Structure formats: structure tokens, C-alpha cells
Structure 1
């Protein structure tokens, strides 16, 4: 964590200072220099008894809001930062550093690093390695937030302090010290709960000297007089002695502490999704509380969280599907439709893929890389790994929606996630014609709808689906096709009879097809139907053709489709799910 090696004699001074105030350091524990982390605590001899007290700090030395407020402003009531106690503590650190050996905390302050490897200290080239990640955007936001705090903090310092000594660089140093070494006050003082909004970061000299190891069994003990730490396991001679900072992924470790862990079992990708405009029913389903975005955490063990799937399921739901979900949440039996599931998963796939494409995993050799470069490569590569697993999980979920999950599990070749992803996506795409239709299927010259396709190609002077898309008339052709299915009955729409019946019940009502909406399709009727009727009177000359019929089909096309990637050329295609 620290970038400046510290000699063991300096730690002897720290230990003596702490013990002189009632602190404790286990006699079997020692500190040594470490190029990687600044300092390393290790066991000089075996510590065979679990729960042996390793380190403790008296409450009188813990740097908290009370001490910061009292030292600078005289008492808590005079401090202007009761609502932002971390600002007071950062200013306190600056003041103690300025005091130097005159500071009562000098034995501790003198050991604190003055250079760090957190991204706020990266140069331009180092930052480019993080482009596209959450950290890349967060760095400048945090810098601006800290700078605003610094300006406010210096402005409110009492007049007896030389404000010019508290530079921006010094304040950023204090901010980084606090982010990289602090403990939550709710734990230190045994107050509040895990989500206590009043908790703030505090510093615990001596105890904060241990490096982090995830899942390490460590016990923190709080008494009215001290905060102590003990190991939850036996420690062998020569073993490094670790603390456990809690369940932290590499994003939090790099941003707050300046290091990453390879194969971090607690690593996560934070996916922030901005809320689109949505109905009040959807807001109710998602239990949104006025926030502009929702945050989800993806991990290797859970690359596809259920709440993330539900979010996109609700976002993708049409009005009818939304009402069905509300009925289900109220106790009625209802499940999301196949169309809704596929659409939601498709939208989720696009969001995750967009995030994956934004980051760049470097294949550089790490042998000559700096600590910052190594940490960045670890962070980015594991972010990409989790996102790739999420994409694979999404495609498997889409595959499962078609009822062919077992086939995929048996036939999917081994190998990398990328190979698995390409294979399953291609198999999924091959099964889609069993569940609906798209422009290629409708216009296939050798397909079951070849007669309809021939008339459309002649009437619109096109030869392929790509021509139709280029002319921006895909929706119109699909609307005409849905009408054709209904009018032709058993001749062309027999396989879709049940689906057409449900579509009639759902969209062919005066409430759905109001007069103004139907009027929008009158120009389409006038432009297309007479011309097509001249080409094929049996197909388009029926009296059933009307602006209202086109409007109904427009509702169907608009609400019953999904966008699916064509795996051959990775092009998005619109499919109507007709089951």
C-alpha cells in the first residue's frame, strides 16, 4: 500500500509511543521493509493460539472527529463540519504534519507515506490504461470533490492558523491517507449498523500498519478503552500477519488504497444504469426512489444478478406485460412473456457488451511494468473477465428461454468464454424461426411466404431484406405481413392462429386504437394498398384491408418484437415473437 519503505526502528518508535499511552504490540510481531507494500508485519516466532491479541490502540490515540474538532476549533460545537466529519479529520492531519515533531502524533504522522499509487496520482499515460473503466471517470470527480472540500476547509480554519501552509497537495495527501488507512467509526466505537449513514472514517495508529488479505480470519475487539485486533487462526514463524479490510473488490482497493489483488475472490464490476423514461407502473415495480440511476454489482460467482435481470425485464416490458407483472407482485399468478424475457436479456447484453468494449486489456509483459501499471492491468483484466462471464450467462439465459438449455449444456464445446459465447449465440439464432419471424424469413424467395415476398419486392422495387432496411421501410413491410397473416387465415397464418387471436384481443380495442392513432395509418393505406392490390388482387384486394387493420398491426409490430444480433455478421435484426 505504501510506496515509501519504512525502517523497523521507525516502527519501534511508533510502538513505544503507542504503548506509552496504553497500546499493545504482541512480542512475537515485528515489522520489516517491503518494496511492494511499504511495510510488512510478520511473526518472529510461532503464535499458536488463535485469538491472541496482536495489536491494540488506546481510544486516546484514535484520530476521530472529536479530536479533530477540539484540536482545531476548540470544541465540537464550534466546528463547521459536523455534517462532514471527514473534512475536519483531513484538516487535522494537515495540521499535525505541519507541526512535525511538535505534534503529539508525530511518531505516527512521520511514518505515513507522502507518495501513493492511487489513480489520483497517475500521469496521463498511466490513466490511459484505465480508459473505459469506472475508475477513469471517477478520478476527476473525486479530485473535484476533494478540491471543493479543501477550499471550504481552509476558509473555515480559525484565524490563528496559517492557512497558506495547507496546500492543495497537502490536503490531497490527507485525503489519501484517510482513504487508505481508515476504519469505519461505527465499528471502532461499536455504534450504529452496517448502513449507518452517520458513520465516518477514523484512523487507528499502529493497528492500521497491517496489509490486507481478503477472507483472512481476523477479529476486531472494541472496549471503552481500546481497539484491538487478533488473528482467527494459528500463525507460523515467519508468516506475514494480515488484516482483513472487509469485502473489497479491486476497484475499491485501487481507488482507495493504490493496489490490486490477482484473482481477488471479492472482485466485482459495478454497472450503473441510467433510468429511461418509464411509466409509474414500472417505477412501482422497480421500487425506484427518485434516483437517476441504479447500481448493480457483477462478480465471478454471480455474473448475472437477479435484480439486474429484473431491472431490464421491467424496462423491456410493454404495457400489457407490465400490468401482468404488477398482478404477480400483488399475489396473482403471472410470468413474464417470452418476448419480454428475450427483449430484456437482449438489452442487458448490449449494455454489458458496451461496457466491455470500452475497456482495453493490455497484453504487455508485466516483468518491467511499474507497480501502477501492474495494478492497472490486474484491475482491467479482471473487470473484462467478469464482464465476459456476464455475457456468457446472459446468452445461456436466452438459450434457456427457448427451452433448449440441456442441449446447450451437452453440446457446448469447452474452452474459453469467448468460444462458448460465439457457439451458444449461433445456436440460439438458429432456433429463432421456431418462435417468430423477421424480415429475412418473410422475404425468403424459397420460403413459405414466397408469394407475399414476390409482391412486396415488386411493389417496393427491392430485391432483399437489406434493400428494405436501406429504404427505411422495415416496419411497414412487417405491418403488411402481420395483416396478411390475419386475413389469409389458415393459408398463411395457420401456425400463428393462437398468437393472432391473442394479438386481436390485446390490441384491437377502441381504447388501444383510438381515432387519432388510426388516422396516422390512413396515408399508409392510401400509398400502399391500392398499388399492391393491382399486383395481387387476391392478396391485397380484400375488403378487410383498412387503416384500422394497419393500425392494429402497427401496435403488434411495435410492441411484440425484440432486437437480436445476427451471429454471422453481428448485425441487429428485429424479430416478432409469435408464440
Structure 2
């Protein structure tokens, strides 16, 4: 009789144990130990019941009279070390162990184990390099080495021969627990402070010993438990089963019907491939529960001051920022979205909330938390939708280096895995790359959805053979605005950005700005008076693009402020956030840093523009509200916080990197 059959025979004889008569414990090299149905099983059928008297955990070590060291050194060893070393000793002396048949049916220490704890050579480790699991695996190995040294030292001092307690045997014990155990809530007392631990009594009986763990820490009450036979079933995400934790027993029932001769599987719950690989040694291709970790850099000290009281979970015991606690799981995304913005529904809400707070802090806005982050960001009429493009960019920017490292390391790997460990690591690695790639693609797709329609963009970019700032060419495309010849006779016009928001190049904002012909003509003339050209390509190559953006934004506000007829929704939104009127009032006449020096240079542009027009007092360049502080505090800040580089399609249909600005309607 093989070990699986012997285990089944032993189990069926145990008091309180039950295994459905049509379910057998089998073994094959491909599936290992597993369950198989001899006949069809109806839905809702109970398959197995394991009494707590058969369970294996560190509690058994605490009441085993053969090893008093575990009780005596309970504090020094701790829960995990006690459980590992007790399993090692039971395995070494399995002939006399109550769990003899269970231990003999377990995978052997000398078998090939595939968790990263067994990745002993550089070739195996290279398949895991730069993944989330690589860091965790290294930290766990270091922790386990420390636990192994502690256990050997304590047991040796207690007079126990530790020569057979090898590192490989310890790794085996760890692997048995990580790959087969259940949470201690499966045996937790429901109406008592006493936990039942079992030891061998007279004959083959089991004797219960009650342990008072009411004064133990929460960590000491959260430990791993092995359940013979119930741990023999393999895991699949599609298997539908019910676990029941009754007093004194752990039961499993099938939800679906089971056909004859098929494997009967358990379901450990929604586990990603990182957890499966680290704990069980296998991965599932295209695992729907797979995730990638995203760790954010520490926010500003000012923001941390607010977060310490409202989001204490991001800080350690000494109230210092803890990067591991500011780590978020990005899950595998659907293959497509009905709307580009739906990607945000798939991202962790705490991540969206924290990024929103970071954006607001960087812009100098008041600290503000909201009860419904998704509603706050995604409601069609919410002004906070303006943060979505910048949240998207922050996530993409954070993920890009990680993807580059993974792809670079992948190129250095051998063409094909050489063993099972490498094959499982490849599944995990491919999943990491896919999740990051699809997430970045979806977020970039959202950003692209905010670009103006392709034809309008091409018309703007290609107008007059690429000469964007030729006055007649730009203003002639503004349709109804041609009727306006002076600021005093402007009629209210359509706001091209008010539909929600657009990401625009300088060319495009001039083309769809909503400014009347005369006002736009005055602005462009002032730029040409300084740059000696109206060709946007020449301006860009000469380094004028950022300056023109800053001046145009400032010019737009001065032109529209106090004049409801020229009010623009996107300009109103910017003014509400950056308070240009207050900036004018607080403006300092002197430049005293690099930012102020830039605005001082731009004031020179303003003066040159005024001089070139002769000064009739009726154009915006002559507005007395122009100042270095106003330029820096409004136009400069808008460009700083709303501007970024993005690949856009030029007039030749080719992709090129351009400076763009996101403008959101109120």
C-alpha cells in the first residue's frame, strides 16, 4: 500500500474524522498528492471533516511531554520557530509519532521544492530578479536563517541532539507550513479563552489540554495549523467549496457537482502569483488575482504632518514614513474599457486618495480628505476630475523604471527555463510585465483620450505649413471670433475646453483659445516683437515655448478678468485654484531667486511688447497688473503643475515629444 492509501486508511479510522466514501487520496508525479472522485458527487455534499485532535501546530509542542523545551523556552523560541522545529523532530522520529502516516505522505525534504527559499543557484535566482517576489524572498530567507540559528541554539542548550536538524530539514518544515497550512482561526475557541491542544494519551487516544492564550499577543494567537488529508487537495481558482469551522472540527463541502474520475480540488481563496510562488511554489498563467506592487516615494514633510493624524497607517511606531505601508497592489486589468476613465475604477482607492493629496499639497492647496474618493474624482460635474491626468502620469512615471528593469533582466535570461523552479518563476515574471504594461497602456490611453480630435489637432498643427504664429492664419480659423474687432465689442463665445478638459500643445491652445481676433492678434504681435518670428518650430528650437505658454496664460486671465462676456470655463477653474488676483496684490517688485529671475526676464518681454505697439492704452500688454510676481504666481505655476511632456502626432502624422498643458473646464 502506498503512502497516500495508507494515510487514507489511517484517517478513516480516526474518531470524528470523515472522508466521503467516493473520494480517494491519490498520488501522481504530475499532481502529487491529491483527491480524486470514484463516482459522481452531488452539489452541497460534505467531503471531509478533520477533528481538531488531528491538527498539527505549535500548540502540540507546548503540551508534548517528550519535548518540555518548547514549553520552557516558549518566549525565546516564539510561535513560528516552535512550529517548525516540532515538525522537524516529528519527521525525524516519525515511527513513534502519532502523525506517522501523515508525515510519510508529505513531500520529502530531498524532493524538488519550488518556492524561492529553494532557489540556491544564480541561474534560478535570475528568473526572479527585479520582481516583487525577489525582495520578499530575500527578506524571508534572512529571517528564516535567523530563526534556524535561534532554534538550534535553544534546543542544543536544552540537551537535544541537533546534528540532524539541518538547514534543508528546516526549509522543508517551513515549506510544509507555507504550502499546506490554514489560519489558526480554524481552531480558535468560539466561546472560551481556552485553546485546546492535543497530546497522545493511553493507547491511540488523544488527550486535550486547555491553554489560556487570553494574555498572549495578537501575533501569538495568529499561527499556522496543518490539517491532515484536507491539505492533500490541490488548489484551483475555479473550484467552489465551503469551509466550515465548527467547535472541534474543520469541514469542507463542495458547492458544485463533481464528475466521476476527476480530480477534486480545494480553493485557497483569491491568491496572486506572488503569494502562490512564495508560499506554495507554483504559479497560475493569466492568474486573475495576480498583482504588482507600487511603492510611492515619501510625500513632503508638510503633507506628512497632516497625514500623521488622518492616515496614521502610513507611518511606523516612531511616526516615520514607512514605504512598505505606502505600497499598493495593482491588479490585472480587464482587456478593455467602455470609457478610458474606467481604468481608475480598477485602481486601489487608497492610492488614488494619497496621490490626490500629494497633488493638492504640491499646488499649495489646503489639506482635504473626502469620504468617497472615487465619487470625488470621477463624478462628471466634479472639479476634482482635473486631478485624474496627473494621477495617471504619477502612476506611469512610478511604474516605468520597474518595467525597464524587468525587461532588461529578461533579455539577459536564457531563452527557456531549465527546470521547474525557473518555469514557475517565468510565469510569475511574465505576469508582472503584463500587468505593468497593460496598466501603463490604459493610463496612457486615458491621457490620449484628453487630446483634441485628431483632425482638429492636425489642422492646428499644420495650419499654414506649420507656421502657427502667423497672425492671419491663426485668427482666420476662429470662426465667430472674426466678428469681434475690439475688447469692448466682444460677444460671449464657445469655450472649447469646457466639456471637461483637454491636453493641448501651444499650437492648439492658440488655435482654440476662444480669444477674439483683435486680442489674440495683440498677443501674437507682442511675441513676434520679441522673438522676431511667428514660426512655432523656430520658437521651440530657440527655447521660447515655455515662455510663450506662461505669458499666454497670464495674458488670457488679464484679458478675461472682470469681463463676464469673455469668461472661459477653463480659465475660471485655473483662477479658482491659483488666485491670480491675490498673486497680484502680494507681488514683490524685486526678483530674488531663480524663479523670480525667470519672471523678471518675462517682464522684459512684456515691456518690449508694449514698446512695439506704441502704447495706446487699449491692449492687454499695457495692463498695469503685469508684474514679476503675477507672472510667476499664475502663469508660471499653471505651467509647473499642469504642463508636461507628451508624445503627440505632428502635421506629418509622426509622433514627437511636445510640451502640453492640461486645461480643465469648471
Which protein is bigger by CA-based radius of gyration?
Answer: 2
CA separation of 1:93/1:474 partners in 2, compared to 1, >3 Å: closer, same or farther? farther
- In structure 2, the residue matched to 1:12 is 5
Question: In the alignment, what sits opposite 1:304?
Answer: 347
Secondary structure in 2 matching 1:42: strand
Within-5 A mapping of 1:49-68? 50-54=44-48, 56-68=49-61
Name the counterpart of 1:93: 87
**1:411 matched residue in structure 2:** none
Q: Indicate the residue corresponding to 1:317 in structure 2.
A: 360
Secondary structure in structure 1 of the residue aligned to 2:136: helix
Quick one: distance in 2 between partners of 1:509 and 1:328? 30
In structure 2, relative to structure 1, the CA distance for the partners of 1:167 and 1:571 (3 Å cut) is farther
Which of 546, 549, 563 is the aligned partner of 2:630?
549
Classify 1:148/1:496 alpha carbon distance in 2 versus 1 (closer, same or farther; 3 Å): farther
Identify the residue that residue 171 of structure 1 maps to in structure 2. 170
The reply to whether residue 537 of structure 1 matches residue 611 of structure 2 is yes
Please give the alpha-carbon distance, in whole angstroms, between the structure 2 residues aligned to 1:383 and 1:359. Answer: 8
Contact 2:591/2:597 (<8 A) preserved: no
Alignment check: 8 A CA contact 1:40 1:240 kept: yes
Helix, strand or coil: the match of 2:659? strand
| Per-residue Cα deviation, 1:420-441 (whole angstroms, up to 9, x for no partner) | xxxxxxxxxx999984655566
User: What is the Cα deviation at residue 494 of structure 1?
Assistant: 9.6
Q: Hey, what's the Cα distance between the residues in 2 that align with 1:58 and 1:526?
A: 81
CA gap of 1:436–1:184, structure 2 versus 1, over 3 A, is closer
**Cα 1:10–1:476 shift into 2, 3 Å:** same
Match of 2:492 in 1: none
The match for 1:261 among 257, 280, 284 is 284
* Counterpart pick for 1:359 among 403, 406, 415: 406
Matches within 5 A, 1:378-393: 378-393=427-442
Question: Aligned runs of 1:237-316 on 2, under 5 Å?
Answer: 237-277=260-300, 279=303, 280-281=305-306, 288-290=313-315, 291-292=322-323, 293-301=326-334, 303-316=346-359
Shift of 1:513: 4.2
SS of the residue corresponding to residue 163 of structure 1 reads: coil
Q: Bigger CA drift: 532-541 or 229-238?
A: 532-541
Check conservation: 1:442, 1:453, Cα contact below 8 A.
no
Deviation of the 1:13 alpha carbon? 2.4
The structure 1 residue matched to 2:250, chosen from 206, 213, 227, is: 227
1:209 maps to 2:232: yes
1:174 positional shift: 1.3
Q: Is the 8 A contact 1:513 1:552 kept in 2?
A: no
How much has 1:238 moved relative to structure 2? 0.6
Q: How does 1:418-457 map to 2 (within 5 A)?
A: 435=502, 438=505, 450-457=524-531
**How far has the Cα of 1:537 moved from its partner?**
1.7
Residues 524 and 353 of structure 1: CA distance in aligned 2, closer, same or farther (over 3 Å): closer
Aligned to 2:397: 350
| Backbone CA RMSD of aligned residues | 4.5
Could you tell which deviates more after superposition, 92-101 or 559-568? Answer: 559-568
TM-score, normalising length: structure 2: 0.67
Aligned length: 535
Out of 110, 113, 116, the residue aligned to residue 113 of structure 2 is: 116
- CA distance 1:468–1:41, shift in 2 (3 Å): farther
Structure 1 residues 435 and 465: alpha-carbon distance in aligned structure 2, compared to 1, 3 A threshold? farther
Please list the CA deviations of residues 299-342 of structure 1 after superposition, one character each: whole Å capped at 9, or x if unmatched: 33574344433332332225678538547879999934454222
* TM-score, normalised by the number of residues in structure 1: 0.76
What's the secondary structure of 2:98's corresponding residue?
coil
- Whether contact under 8 Å (1:118, 1:257) holds in the other structure is yes
| 1:173 to partner: Cα distance | 1.7
Q: Any stretches of 5+ residues in structure 1 without a counterpart?
A: 1-7, 405-429
Task: Find the aligned partners of 1:433 and 1:464 in 2 and give their Cα distance.
Answer: 32
Instruction: Name the structure 2 match of 1:407.
Output: none
Note the C-alpha offset of 1:134. 0.8
Change (3 A) 1:202 1:529: same
The answer to whether the 8 A contact 2:24-2:37 is kept is yes
Distance 1:577 1:44, change over 3 A: same
Residue in 2 aligned with 1:373?
422
Distance (Å, rounded) in 1 between the aligned partners of 2:129 and 2:102? 36
Structure 2 counterpart SS, 1:165:
coil
Partner of 1:127: 125
Deviation for aligned residue 1:248: 1.1
Gapped regions of structure 2 (runs ≥ 5) = 192-217, 316-321, 335-344, 454-495, 512-519, 614-620, 650-654
| Map of 2:485 onto structure 1 | none
